[in-house]
């Protein structure tokens, strides 16, 4: 019985140690200077996300978060997700570091963040400080 306890303890310790090695992308509040202070979409933009249709509102998107790859510009109001039912979630535009175009979008759902690429970059205006 004592050997069984040691094996279980070893498996638990190895599992805990290995899981802490993978941290995934670390999204955090902005601590560096984004390429622009805001991005303005002049009209709503609709994208297909698997079986859902996501509509990003027109308006001023402000940078709130970043990760190693780029900046998250949050939408002025919630993103409308039309799936089996219609939902409203946080979301916005993503700009890669070193770029100025919003080539990607994101939606934060209760089960996690979804990201995708725009097939065609929507019409936008950059606002710089």
Contact 44/80 with Cβ under 8 angstroms? no
DSSP class of 50: T
Region 17-22: mean pLDDT is: 37
pLDDT at 23 exceeding the cut of 80: no
pLDDT at 13 exceeding the cut of 80: no
For residue 35, name the pLDDT band (cuts at 50, 70, 90).
confident
Flag whether the pTM goes above 0.85: no
Is the model more confident about 10 or about 43? 43
pLDDT at 11 exceeding the cut of 50: no
Q: How far is CA 7 from CA 10, 11, 15, 61, in A?
A: 5, 6, 12, 53
């Amino acid at each position: 019985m004592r050997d069984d306890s040691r094996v279980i303890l070893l498996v638990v310790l190895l599992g805990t140690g290995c899981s802490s090695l993978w941290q995934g992308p670390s999204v955090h509040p902005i601590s560096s200077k984004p390429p622009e202070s805001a991005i303005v979409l002049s009209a709503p933009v609709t994208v297909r996300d698997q079986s859902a249709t996501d509509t990003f509102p027109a308006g001023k998107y402000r940078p709130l978060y970043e990760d190693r790859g780029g900046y998250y510009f949050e939408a002025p109001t919630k993103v409308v997700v039309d799936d089996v039912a219609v939902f409203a979630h946080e979301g916005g535009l993503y700009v890669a570091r070193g770029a100025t175009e919003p080539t990607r979008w994101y939606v934060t759902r209760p089960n996690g963040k979804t990201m995708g690429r725009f097939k065609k970059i929507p019409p936008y205006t950059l606002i710089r400080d």
